Amino acid sequence: MKPKIESVILAADLVGTVVFAIEGAMTAMHGGLDLLGVMVISFVAALGGGVIRDVLIGATPPNAIRDWRYPALTFATGFLTFIFHHAVQAIPGMLLVVLDAAGLALFAAAGTSKATLYMIRPFVAMLLGTVTGVGGGVIQDILLARVPTVLHSDIYATAAFLGAFLILTCRRLGLSMTTSALIGGTACFALRLASVLLGWHLPKADGW
């Protein structure tokens, strides 16, 4: 069973990596960065959260360094996004939101699942799933001298946390890791999309 679970985690990680690498490259280009800057931001956005997760759970060196597929995928994706930026800019905004929600769901599911393999306690596993989903974007925004989007945008980290919570709840109910990850990831994806379409936000202090 363990190899199967690890294969599911790897697949979710790699697909999410491509999605966030594209987003990171687009954000870097909007910020006026050159090709090197685009490649760096693409790498950070795609792999930053996973690196933080792996370091915290003791899976070192992190997959982003140990497995050549991760850096190769991010750099190739960033480079192609830069070369074909006109085509990428033509992608409808709603499609980008859908892709972003899918990447968040994939990373949240992969991060939570991997944490459970390392026998991390449930609440901390949920936090690690959330960090996997949002960590790269936070580092990206800091490098671009912006307040991290996750701190003021529509429901984002909350969606990842909910997905992680459902994964662990399903596991406690006896469902397989694959089924649990599918349920949690779907919930994360749905909540993220709903928050964008319906304008849902977490409460803010009055007058601020």
Dump pLDDT digits (tens) for 7-33. Answer: 777 777 888 889 899 989 998 998 889
| Residue 127 counted as domain residue | yes
| Residue 22 counted as domain residue | yes
Could you tell me the pLDDT band of residue 5, with boundaries at 50, 70 and 90?
low
109 has pLDDT over 60: yes
177 has pLDDT over 90: no
How many H helices and E strands in the chain? 9, 0
| Residue 29 counted as domain residue | yes
Q: How many domains does the chain have?
A: 1
| Residue 35 counted as domain residue | yes
Cβ density class 87-111: b for 16+ within 10 Å, e for less: ebeeeeeeeeebbbbbbbbbbbbbb
Task: Among 27-36, 59-68, 196-205, name the one with the lowest average pLDDT.
Answer: 196-205
Range of the domain at 184: 2-198
| Residue 204 counted as domain residue | no
Please state the pTM of the whole predicted model: 0.87
1 has pLDDT over 50: no
| Residue 203 counted as domain residue | no
